[in-house]
Amino acid sequence: MKAFNMTEVLKNAPVGEWLALSPSKDRIIASSPDLEVALNAAKELGEDNPVMMKAPSPYALVL
């Protein structure tokens, strides 16, 4: 089983902002520094259940 590669979809993502991703996580539907703004923007664009995550810093390791 090969890992799901998010490199491409995150390549131009706004670092530090909440991303509303499609359920398959192959595209960013909306983004905002504010979680609920990003959520609502995705819903207005027709995605009722986006997957939320923050765009990682290119240097951010998670400990």
Partner 1 sequence: MDFRYTEISLNPCTAFPAGVELKRPLLDVLLRNGKRAVSLTAMVDSGSDFCIFPASFAKALGIALPTGKSITFTGSADRPQVAHFETIQVAIWNENREEDPISFDVYAGFCDSVEHVGLGILGQHGFFSQFKVTCDHTNEVLTIT
Type of residue found at 60: A
3 exposure class (CB count in 10 Å sphere: 0-12, 13-18, 19+): exposed
Q: Residue 31 forms beta bridges with which residues?
A: 19
We find the least distance from the C-beta atom of residue 42 to partner 1, in angstroms, to be 11
We find the least distance from the C-beta atom of residue 59 to partner 1, in angstroms, to be 6
Q: Does 52 bind partner 1 (CB under 8 A)?
A: yes
Q: Does 46 bind partner 1 (CB under 8 A)?
A: no
Q: Does 58 bind partner 1 (CB under 8 A)?
A: yes
**Whose CA is closest to 37, among 14, 56, 60?**
14
- Which residue from 27, 29, 31, 50 is in contact with partner 1, where contact means CB under 8 A? 50
